Amino acid sequence: MATDKNDTAGENKKVAGLQQHTEDSTGQFLTTNHGLKINDDQNSLKAGNRGPSLLEDFLLREKITHFDHERIPERVVHARGSAAHGVFKLNKDMSEFTRAKFLNDTSLETPVFVRFSTVAGSRGSTDLARDVRGFAVKFYTEEGNFDLVGNNMPVFFIQDAIKFPDLIHAVKPEPHNEIPQAASAHDTFWDFISNTPEAAHMIMWAMSDRALPRSYRMMEGFGVHTFRLVNETGKSVFVKFHWKPLLGVHSVAWDEAQNISGKDPDFHRRDLWDAIEAGDFPQWQFGVQIVPEEDEHKFEFDLLDPTKIIPEELVPVTIIGTMTLNRNPDNFFAETEQVAFHVGHVVPGIDFSNDPLLQGRLFSYTDTQLIRLGGPNFHEIPINRPVVPVHNNQRDGFSRQTINKGKTAHGPNTMSGGCPFQAGKVQGGFTSFPEKIEAHKVRERSQSFFDHFSQATLFLNSQSEPEKNHIIDALSFELGKVETLVIRERMLFLLAQIDDGLAAAVAFAIGMHVPKELAKQLNQNIPADADPEQYRSIVKEGSLQRSEPLSMANTIKDNIRTRKIALLACDGVNDKNLAAVKAAVEAAGGICEVIATKLGFISGMNSDKPIPVNKSLLTTGSVLYDAVYVPGGINSTATLEADPDAIHFLNEAFKHCKAIAADADALQVLRATYFGRKLPESNDEETVLMEGVVVSNNITTLATNFINAVKQHRFWDREKARKVPA
């Protein structure tokens, strides 16, 4: 694992570049923005101590003016985010495919800044909204900045950027009443989706557990679009970019997400910050799918269609490096809020495809930053500065920080000897790939983009049964919030093009029938939209039936690193068992917190040493933990058994399918729960392991089996059969 002790020259350069703009006011005198020392910052200048304030008070005006303007416009999308610094280490030389130096030299470590975000909500919304998550990485390379601006889902709702404003207007709060915030469960969103069949595949992802990640550290990232890599000889290949978390891909339950939003709306933000502060640095493997140019048209889908994936069974992901996030920002606004990503920030050896969504983003990002960050000099904000010097003839504008010397600001010129020179390919200059294009100017879409449903069906078929049930539940919840009947009918019709069983299950849940045809056709501008049934998902003979990487059930489940375990205990607890399980969990990489009925300390039955309580049942909830352990001790178990909050804590943990463990003499606490009535009698010699519930009198066996249960993340199979009132 890379640490801050392994900083390379590149990372040191970026840190040094930020350091010159970093201030620590400890021990310093208060000054104005221009360096004037202030001897009174608590009283405005008045005409007498009870008189009116004077216009002459320039200190008051500077302070108030800055305060009035210290909030910049939030991002239209991806407004709520969290970020961290880190490094990228290449472990496979990619010079066969690209001339990008940071992908050629395995001795390099490239500094990065990564911002995770939700899409639809405002800056003040919850982290746990059902939503796509942004996954944007800024590589500070020796050839300039490369921004890989992606999401935690590999596809998108639309195929052409011209529809993006409509999509966002639809999913944002409805304009007449500004309701609901950070939610897609309302009429305008589903009106748009039900009229846009190309969104079918993305809707399957958005209604899946991928929209409810357990942590930013436990979600995948994707470049979404097909890009090009170009090598030194000018040969091009197509590429898809992937980030795969070393902790596996895990989610929370929908009910749990709603509860977390009330208990801790900063759950993901806090989780990322705390992990880095504790030295549990998040890591992702960086992978690529390479498609030779000659294979561009060999698939049943179009590589340029952003609503499609390349299944890994057809083109495996080759892992080429590892990213480690190892440092939190020093200032949220200056770094996380002011960082400006741009899909057009590339380096020599990385180029664009003709994906129409990607092409539109190339315009949108610059236009957005001009408004949000106050003008054309947003690249001079420290977090956005590259680690290499910038030389061009661009001058002036709002917030210009560079003091350019010399008489010329034009090119070509002779007065400055032609400087700054243009860099040819030999000098490492960027050269656009010379793709040959012969076509008429048209507002049309390729027929190869018309299949909207087959990959949606592939995604659904690839899910485990619990995951399929979650998709049905999500669609039922969302459409149950839609008040306009015709919108629900259109959506059921489109769902039937994906899978009859899916449509029938959702229709049953919302009390409707699946229409066999629509009274009114959809969008007439695109043939596939006008009559979607002709493109109904029919899996062709020999086509891929399932894709294992699409299911989260197949993710990494070999560790419990950074998983949070609640230890429910009160006065009189068996402190030896508590300490033994705590030590075993922490040795395996987990994090333990003692939860009691009150804050302060509790006493143990074996020692006079007080045990510190981390949280009380009043200030926390089971939704903030990954698993629960109840140690024994007569007095402790009697208190917990009689405490409604403790019983609710356990019922809720069971409802959300989490691992639960208890000493054999704490079984009475579990029996007081709704689910505990069905537990078999405890055996002093054997562990009772039932759907993630571990009970044993042997503390070593209990700890081992409990840790193994936590590794499984959730026991989703118990969800439907054993819903509990929690």
Residue 527 belongs to a domain: no
Structure-model confidence comparison of residues 422 and 91, the more confident one: 91
Residue 538 belongs to a domain: no
- Separation of alpha carbons 647 and 645, rounded Å: 5
Question: pLDDT tier at 690 (50, 70, 90 boundaries)?
Answer: low
Amino acid letter, residue 463? Q
Rg for the chain (alpha carbons), in Å? 29
Give residue 331's Cα distance to chain centre.
20
Its pTM stands at 0.92
- Which domain covers residue 650, as residue numbers? 557-721
Q: HEC profile for 54-112?
A: CCCCHHHHHHHHHHHCCCCCCCCCCCCEEEEEEEEEECCCCCCCCCCHHHCCCCCEEEE
pLDDT of residue 242: 98
Q: Is the pLDDT of residue 524 over 80?
A: no
pLDDT in tens, 341-384: 999 999 999 999 999 999 888 888 888 888 899 889 999 999 99
Q: What is the mean pLDDT of residues 495-505?
A: 96
Q: Is the pLDDT of residue 76 over 80?
A: yes
pLDDT in tens, 404-447: 888 888 888 888 888 888 887 667 888 888 888 888 878 888 88
Q: What is the mean pLDDT of residues 529-543?
A: 65
Question: pLDDT tier at 74 (50, 70, 90 boundaries)?
Answer: very high
Domain tally, the chain? 1
Q: What are the two backbone dihedrals, phi and then psi, of residue 381, each rounded to the nearest 5 degrees?
A: -60, 135
Provide the token pair at 211.
């929209």
Residue 450 belongs to a domain: no
Q: What is the mean pLDDT of the chain?
A: 91
Structure-model confidence comparison of residues 275 and 438, the more confident one: 275
pLDDT in tens, 227-241: 999 999 999 999 999
pLDDT of residue 418: 85
- What positions carry a catalytic annotation? 78, 151
pLDDT of residue 236: 97
Residue 147 belongs to a domain: no
Q: What is the mean pLDDT of residues 93-108?
A: 97
Question: pLDDT tier at 2 (50, 70, 90 boundaries)?
Answer: very low
Question: pLDDT tier at 1 (50, 70, 90 boundaries)?
Answer: very low
Q: Is the pLDDT of residue 7 over 70?
A: no
Residue 82 belongs to a domain: no
Residue 240 belongs to a domain: no
Residue 77 belongs to a domain: no
Tell me which residue of 200, 214, 219 sits closest to 155, measured CA to CA: 200
Q: What is the mean pLDDT of residues 695-700?
A: 93
Q: Going by DSSP bridges, is the β-strand pair 627-630/564-568 parallel, antiparallel, or unpaired?
A: parallel
Provide the token pair at 15.
């840190």
Q: Is the pLDDT of residue 587 over 50?
A: yes
Q: Is the pLDDT of residue 725 over 80?
A: no
Residue 662 belongs to a domain: yes
CATH of the domain at 705: 3.40.50.880
Nearest 5°: the CA angle 710, 716, 721 is 130
